[in-house]
Copies of this chain bind each other. A is one copy, B any other.
Amino acid sequence: MRYVIVGGVAGGMSAATRLRRLDETAEIIIIDKGAYVSFANCGLPYYVAGEITERADLLVQTPAKLKARFNLDVRVNSEVVGIQSYQKSLTVKTATEEYQLSYDKLLLSPGGQATIPPLSGLSNLPSYTMRSVADVDAVTAFIEREQPQTIAVIGGGYIGLEMSESLTNRGIKVHLINRSAHVLNTVDEEMAVFVEQELREQAVELHLKTQITAITADQKVILNDGRVIACDALIIAAGIKPATGFLEKTPIALGKDGGIIVNEQFETTVTDIFAVGDAILVPQLISKEASLLALASPANRQGRFVADVMSGLSRSFKGTLGTSIVRVFSQTVAATGLNESDLKRLGYHYQVLHVMGKNHAGYYPHATGILLKVLFNKDDGQLYGAQAIGQAGVDKRIDVLATAIYAKLTIDQLPELELSYAPPFGVAKDVVNMAGYVGMNISEGLTQPIQWHELAGKVAGGAVLIDVRSAAEFAKGHIVGALNHPLDAIREQPLTIAKETTLIVSCQTGLRSYIAERLLTQQGYTVYNLDGAYHLYAQIQSEKVEYK
């Protein structure tokens, strides 16, 4: 049996080593275009930052080590330029030769390649992508040689944000140019604004809803809002697309954006040809919508999975949640499942909730806040997705929620999750549990949340906004038009507003406003609770003011 694998990084190499463990006698050949296989692609921005100091640490494996340990035939600097699937053969091209290579089973794991926007004058500036060891070598050499003052990063996705942080930490002024209204399309806008605040606080110059018009011969970047930035280089992190150009003339079917179409066994439309990784279209676990996903963990998982399938073990892939995380200076933002944009686009009926918690007991030193957003179905409780931002413990909460969503737990089961608690590690009622309590309150009609974007409409319709924080907190900043009536005074000094008036209650994070909502509802008012309260509203509104 000869297995040929095209692409020797996450998915391809996981498949190769698993194939070997399952079959000592098989011939396993890995063809890779690049000079390195099995390298730490997710580590590249941290090497640029100088956090990872040894280049050798990026090179997880070498062909020689893979030969010794797994008897793999790894062929680097080799490009597949043709596939003759009718005779089960590839055409491989190297610097010196072109040859035919037959296979019994073929795995395609070519990965993605950076999208280069068609920029007028692009050649006027040194520009770098961040996909390979060669890329990182080039950018670090440039930085050391030229000592650049200012670099423009195009694209506010994961790589763009990680590079913004890395370059800033090296003392370089960063302009982050983002085409859409907010960075990070994995999270919704009211979550992204907290990332944007962090970027600005760390002196990254943020250009939202902005594109480059041209780059001049004297190395100036012209933006479509008229601004002109003098730059020393460009980092292009404007997304990736499947590196599937070599498949265009083959019978292997490609779908949206050139992604390879696969079935539940990661088999392509051609017999004995399989595909995994960034280049394939994978179904989302809940919606089943097929989309591209450029993440290391799923690629690794798919690689091992497809090796089992190729070896004849029975496996069936159900879909992906696309859990993702990124550190942006002192903040971490993570997400899993469907976000609100997805749900809206797909026509789901969904409920949103936001809850603020702490990473660990508030009375234990260095507790920091976590803002958690959960999306679910109010009627049957199904969890659709979650997003979180904070300085610590965000990964844990999103991992728990990813597990809960995968396991088809419902919103009312989140309070029952028994998460480890001691003061340095968690909170007796964790923010994940709290999200479940809030969700249950919504489902059972004990609270009626409205979202930040619904407030103006409700007020225009005659509702009165009551801010139940203390007078001191209110004085520091509040929503225009809000009346201040501290929670602890409501029983002693009842509101003098007619019971027919609709009230909206708010506080700092939503905890006190909920208590006020329960009290006022029982006093006979119709009450709505501003979900996420002032903390969320002030952030997203200040963004709007700044950019509308």
Q: Spell out A's residues near B (CB within 8 Å).
A: 10, 14, 20-25, 40, 42-43, 46, 51-52, 57-58, 60, 65, 68-71, 158, 162, 295-298, 300-301, 304, 313, 318, 320-327, 332, 334, 336, 361, 363-365, 395-396, 398-400, 402-404, 406-409, 413, 415-426, 428-430, 433, 437, 444, 446, 487-488, 491, 514-515, 518-519, 522-523
Contacts and interface: CB of A to CB of B under 8 A. Distances in A.
Contacts of A298: 418
A52 B365 contact: yes
Contacts of A325: 420-422, 425-426
B51 A422 contact: no
A417 B518 CA distance: 38
Contact of A419 (B71, B297, B418, B419): B297
A518 B297 contact: no
A509 to B, nearest CB: 15
Contact of A42 (B52, B162, B413, B422): B422
Given A24-B523, A51-B365, A365-B52, A419 B407 contact: no
19 contacts: A20-B518, A21-B446, A21-B515, A51-B365, A69-B487, A297-B419, A297-B426, A300-B429, A323-B418, A327-B425, A332-B425, A395-B419, A396-B399, A399-B419, A402-B420, A403-B403, A403-B409, A404-B407, A406-B416
A519 B71 CA distance: 11
Given A58-B363, A363-B43, A491-B71, A404 B403 contact: yes
B320 A515 contact: no
B25 A297 contact: no
- Of A297, A324, A403, chain B has the most CB atoms within 10 Å of the CB of A403
A39 to B, nearest CB: 10
Q: List the 9 shortest-distance A-B pairs measured between CB atoms, nearest first.
A: A407-B407, A325-B420, A24-B522, A57-B363, A68-B488, A323-B418, A396-B396, A21-B518, A403-B403
B399 A420 contact: yes
B313 A444 contact: yes
* Most chain B beta-carbon contacts within 10 A, residue among A326, A363, A429: A363
Nearest to A40: B363
A43 B423 contact: yes
A423 B46 contact: yes
A15 to B, nearest CB: 13
Contact of A402 (B162, B419, B487, B518): B419
Nearest to A417: B403
Contacts of A21: 446, 514-515, 518
Contacts of A519: 24
A361 B403 contact: no
Contacts of A20: 518
Given A42-B361, A58-B363, A518-B21, A418 B396 contact: no
Contacts of A428: 10, 42, 296-297, 300
Contacts of A71: 491
A418 to B, nearest CB: 4
A437 B334 contact: no
Nearest to A14: B429
Given A158-B422, A301-B415, 5 more contacts: A42-B361, A162-B422, A295-B421, A399-B420, A403-B404
B418 A327 contact: no
Contacts of A14: 429
A138 B399 CA distance: 41
A330 B51 CA distance: 23
Contacts of A52: 363-365, 423
Contact of A422 (B22, B318, B326): B326
A323 B364 contact: no
A325 B428 CA distance: 12
A422 B184 CA distance: 15
A433 B336 contact: no
User: Which of A25, A321, A425 neighbours the largest number of chain B CB atoms within 10 Å of its CB?
Assistant: A425
Contacts of A43: 361, 363-364, 423
Nearest to A397: B399
Contacts of A407: 403-404, 407-409, 413
Nearest to A517: B21
Interface centre among A70, A416, A433, A487 (most CB of B within 10 A): A416
Contacts of A515: 21, 69-70
Contacts of A40: 361, 363, 423
Contacts of A514: 21
Contacts of A423: 40, 42-43, 46, 52
